[in-house]
Chain A
């Protein structure tokens, strides 16, 4: 059983206009096997939280802590965090030219497990994971994300999640740009990892659609860099019905 604890996190970025604070004191705890949904209007800081957990260099933590089973995550380099069991399914996966999917997956798996996966079982695992996510077999020979459609990129993110078996997965708007079939297939992947590996999930989403397929125990509403409200799945229903209006400051006439 693992615990990922975020306490009073303040995060800022450098912009042309100067330093801008995006997260203004986020507190959140997630345990193995739990599914948390993070919702909120655009600009509320949801993606910033995801990138900060993964350690993207663009984001500066000005105060607060993130610990994984008591160990300080903020002190760890990006690759150390992944090896410690954190996985980020990115919102905009980049293309990495000239590096094939097979090469990349094997290198990453070796890094995460600390040893190279057995060749024969690995090839089978990759093939079967690709089938379950309806990813064409020839994708293995393509360069990472090169020429992939938005939906294909997202499915490949989930493929990696299933192969690397993280303790905690942060899914940054994985549902955006997916059609119904892709949405269903991706959700099955998340539910599988949750059931088989007791994975904890931080599901960042703008729309409630994906919550028809992945049932959260906890829903957090982000507004202006903070958690404005927390609740169970019924909070998601309420948001679907009423939107984010009641969280937003009234417009001065």
Chain B
């Protein structure tokens, strides 16, 4: 363990970001600045629920083997691609020794289903005398055996190990938005404590799948109106987005020793369980501002959802604690990335700091059902 007061500072040395906007943090900052066209909306395929579709990617640049591409479903391809881009960005893609001791925390849900098989089985079950027996027979004969490996939550991390050779060890956190902020929190703590030097942290989400939308549509939480920014919507709900966001986090001393570019320092990560009662979110967020030492000048990258009560409580805290420039709303840029949303917000904040747009930034993470987080970054 290295000495010195700031040797164990945690710095961002790599960013991989893909979304409807395109690829790379620079493209996202350009879109934020209005220099390029905003990312597209997909309003037909899952009507009445619009989503922000993933970008067209040349997968071979990050996932060279076709056999690897075939073994994954889209959520994994987005994630493995973004993870590879983060390793490139950090300049460690070809450093096998370093990748073998780089640890991984992925924030993930589960993977895709075979939608055709599901539909056929549901259709057949409706009229079958013994529907559960039919289910056994059809699943045994119709499901692709390796589909399971595209569904298991920890197999995004598994594919990152296989495709990129990042084999320190991986842990996968689940639990919607909170998984993303807790992944960053635990990686930060492990680096700061001297346990590990380098982490790859992030997640991915595929919005272009009916079963994902279904879960939130059941809760009447998926937005079903015309394309509009969160603040301009006349109906409640979030717009899911397809994307992936990964960060390379590193101890400052380790980054310095290998001459790495530092985008920003992650100064503090706060996360908390929070109830859904009136005022609970505002109380929690206010406390996280205190705990993370976030100042009034921090540029805010907001995890605002499009759920009026949650948004109003967040707005009230931001108005009081960071009254400067209007918050950047990550969902307006890329859609709501669920587990990957906080990592995407941190990627944007680190980009703003690296380009001199901000000296300090704070990323809010608002759980649509539970939990809140705040990540404070500063010029590194």
**Bind each other:** no
